[in-house]
Chain A
Amino acid sequence: MDMNRFRDHLRAIRGPIGSLDRTDIALIGAIEKGLPLTPRPYAEIARGLGLSEQQVVDRLAALRSQGTIKRLGVVVRHRELGYRANGMVVWDVPDDRVAELGRSFSRYDFVTLCYRRPRQLPEWPYNLFCMIHGKSHDEVRARIGQLVQECGLQSVDHEVLFSRRRFKQCGARYHGSDAPQPAREAGYGT
């Protein structure tokens, strides 16, 4: 959902979601645009919420360790930083090997996302998807070759779908600038 809808969604929440209480929800709402660029960012967030700095630090640490926050940090605009080739690589893997291969793929630095998804037979036989960003198509193909070789996938059907153009990019804008919406991180949250 785009960020305005996300904000409405957070506001509409009356009770806890799962293990999150209302203070957690308010904290998530307060930082979804980004962390303040001030020496004590958590103190500034705390002031806005009527909490202490220590409470914000403790809650953020808990949200992170329970996995609601996957990571704090930066997301790069990959195209602007020279990663111009974006290949979605799809594999038709025997069901009993998907988890093992997914875990193997995720150990490679150049694999940026890795998911199991349903096949859509007969048209779409692939059940393991990974994203490989590279500086060129050849670089992405070379890395696929490396995966095939090192993971023993010579007999597994696969295809690479390079992106040709972006029809639309919007959604997550978090850092609070009024500039036009930047690209959403490819595959974020999907």
Chain B
Amino acid sequence: MAHEAPAGALDALDRRIINTLQDGFPVCERPYAQVAAQLGTDEQTLIGRLGRLLDERFLTRFGPMYQAERLGGAFSLVAMRVPAGDLERVAGIVNGFTEVAHNYEREHEFNMWFVLATETPQAIAEVLGRIEQASGYPCYNMPKLEEYYVRLRLPV
């Protein structure tokens, strides 16, 4: 990956900032000052470090994580079983749909796994129909039925 940066480029303060902000960010007048005090640094240093971590792409984002369904969108996880020799062609077809948010090859007979994101629940089935038609393989639709609360956090 061209944009990969080594994790070694992070110093101790960077790591503490990342670990702290994975747990949340305050909603108050001076949130950076509050977090900075907690980390034993100052507001301007924290703001500068965060900007750098975003620019250097250690972080994908800094902001709100939404419960997207509450905003009217629909999501699903979809699996396909594609013969190895046909994987590139089918990946090209699947990736060509703007509704496909990300698509991974996984080590399994079900070897292609992608996330579909549409503006309405009805559009999921419609897009899957078009992918099946274009690729010639069935799509296995596996929408979430229940989500178990996970404190998404990777210590660095």
Interface residues of A (CB under 8 A from B): 1-2, 5-6, 9-10, 13, 17-18, 20, 28, 31-35, 37-43, 53, 57, 60-61, 63-64, 67-83, 86, 88, 98-99, 102-103, 105-106, 109, 111-118, 120, 123-124, 129, 133, 159, 161-175, 177, 179-180, 182-190
Contact = CB atoms under 8 A, between A and B. Distances in A.
B77 interface: yes
Given A80-B4, A115-B144, A175 B150 contact: no
B106 A73 contact: no
B11 interface: no
Given A114-B147, A168-B102, A75 B27 contact: no
Contact of B72 (A17, A53, A117, A166): A17
A76 B104 contact: no
Contacts of B10: 81
Task: Select the residue from A17, A71, A74, A99 with max chain B CB neighbours within 10 A.
Answer: A74
Interface residues of B, number: 88
B62 interface: yes
A40 B29 contact: yes
Contacts of B67: 67-70, 189
A171 B24 contact: no
Interface of B: 1, 3-5, 7, 10, 18, 21-25, 27-33, 43, 47, 50-51, 53-55, 57-73, 75-77, 79, 81, 91, 94-95, 98-108, 110-115, 117-119, 140-156
A34 B62 contact: yes
A40 B18 CA distance: 20
A106 B56 CA distance: 30
Given A69-B65, A98-B146, 13 more contacts: A39-B33, A53-B29, A75-B22, A76-B60, A77-B57, A80-B57, A106-B149, A113-B152, A118-B141, A118-B145, A124-B142, A166-B103, A187-B115
Contacts of A182: 3, 57, 60-61
A133 B150 CA distance: 13
A71 B62 CA distance: 10
B118 to A, nearest CB: 6
A73 B21 contact: yes
A173 B37 CA distance: 29
Task: Select the residue from B7, B18, B70 with max chain A CB neighbours within 10 A.
Answer: B70
A190 B30 contact: no
Task: Select the residue from B3, B101, B110 with max chain A CB neighbours within 10 A.
Answer: B101
